[in-house]
Chains A and B, each alone.
Chain A
Amino acid sequence: MTGIEEAAARIAEEGPSERRFARDPVNQAMINNWAEAIGDRNPVYTDPGYAATSVHGGLVAPPAMAQVWTMPGLRGQRADDDPLSAMMSIMDEAGYTSVVATNSEQRYHRYLRHGEHVAASTRLEGVIGPKRTALGEGWFVTTVTTWYVGDEVVADMVFRVLKFRPSDASGGAEAGDVLRPVVSKDTEFFWEGTRVAELRIQRWGGTLRHPPGPTPPDGDLGAVPDYVVAAGTGTVYSFVVQHHPGVPGKTTPFVVALVELDEGVRMLGELLDAEPSQVHIGLEVEVVFVPVEAGLTIPAWKVRS
């Protein structure tokens, strides 16, 4: 399970948020603004004389306004226990900074009338991802909201948004637009090392292993690893030159080298500041540590001088 999936499971388990009241009771001013902007001229929403003779026997609110009453507004803060806002923060931190709604399924149990003060409660239904979409890589977040007047359910909605990292194709690369390694329990020592400029190699007894894994090469399930700090020097064992497709945060062409370290294991990384035509197997290289963002430093290679 990824960190995002774990967070989603935790938030879903917390259940529905406290019911939160709309800023205003159902009122003619907001209905008039809405009907005017949408272009809906149905007089049951705006004409008291007509509405009195209608099936409603008086003015009612447009059912499609159900969600409008409880929108947070310009300065509005979502409640601390709002599961959508909690999920959005987690996605923002993971670099999925943009959001777009994809599905809305609303049911109206009855029409609302002036003066009724609705309250809404939302729970997290689920999170699915990461998915590649036309907008960029992202996660689909589904919530269920229920609207109440008193204890009566008046409307409900299944709502789905795509929380995504904008793709580079738009030219709108953002600071968050960078490839991140997946950090697991087995690899976190490695990434802690790069933060302090140490290239750490997993060691099982007398055997070095890279990439690090959960078990030693001989499969002894009782073994516990430690690590050694590599000197950071080696030679190019193999390499590729990336021309296409583009990679977020990189300018093509660039070189990715598989380096055989002096300690004997092989490690992948970008070979920086090298002309692709000058790169060859056996080229002597040394490690450099490239800070990407707070808390993330990626090792790369440069030609040894």
Chain B
Amino acid sequence: MYILNRRRFLQVGSLASATLLMPKFLKAFETGALVPPGNKVLVIVQLSGGNDGLNTIIPYRNDIYYRSRPALGIRREAALSLNDDLGIHPALQGLKALYDDGAMGILNNVGYPNPDRSHFRSMDIWHSASQSAEIWNDGWVGRYLDAQCNGCDKPTQALEIDDTLSLALKGEHNKGLALTDPGRLSNTSNDRFFKELLQQHVVEDEHHNVEYLYKTMGETISSATYIQQQFKTYQSKESYPATELGRNMRIIANLIMSDINTKVYYVSHGSFDTHVNQQDQQARLFKQLSDALTVFTGDLKKNNRFQDVMVMTFSEFGRRVSQNASGGTDHGTANNMFLIGGDLKRQGVLNEGPDLMNLKDGDLQYKVDFKSVYATLLDKWLGADDKMILKADYAKLDFI
């Protein structure tokens, strides 16, 4: 009853290896390296769910911290020392090593004015880079694509390692591509029926949305082929952790080393929404993060690409200063960000730690607007017009 005709289904759904379709940009790729050596790459790691920054970078000389968190506070002896005032969560050993190597910058008190404590709204604000009272339907990486790739034949400049695409990667005219498995993306889009549809399509004028759909479909199919080709050219020999993040970082490493034209990679890790029983959950997720990034950065170093890569971590908000009654923390505001790479101009702890003396309604007050971090990365790392993309002029920071 369900399967009406197995044979026909296999025919329609079957994969054709022949490249039926050869858009002009693929022909261009064939002629040789399009990507200049030393292609600067940004890897964004989203810590979903609101990571508790105070237990990430620990103010272990601060009495208020321990008073507010009698059970949750991480003891000075347990934290890994960064300097006299601050330590890092014990599960982040790999990040501590990167810090010691001068390959990590830590930015404290990052946030935005009038913080919103709802996950979905705050995440939207981080993704779109809007003010907290504004609702924008496109994301900052998407607008970067709009600025850099309008009319260009390389729609693989931003990739999200996921099944669905985040708002951050959606521009008005250009969008990033989401994939969990370069092989599988290609399988779906290699579907013969889809390819033939594309071939038989004649451009017509009146219905702009038909053209938009065919353009998106065409780009997806050709990008999928390109990504798969590139993906095959390099297979990492490192043993990445057998976690979802480990698997995703391996895909990113393979693609970076393949000299694909991708400039921005996006990956999520979580959930850090630790209202209850925070300690175990945060430690487990941190170990996964630390282990994956350790292998990833090691892989890049061995291949002499670490200086071309910048990893940025963020979360939609930090948690409240005080622990709650269930061994967890509730939604807060300002938070810390990690910047990891082989070419940091400034390393280590980049600014003052959390100011627990000046809380607002029990929450940390932000000192650095996250949009300044975006502006810095867009301008100094990706060489893009940050003012146009962010629709405002934010002060640049000096870590690059």
Q: Do A and B come from one complex?
A: no
Residues of B within 8 A of A (CB): none
Residues of A within 8 A of B (CB): none
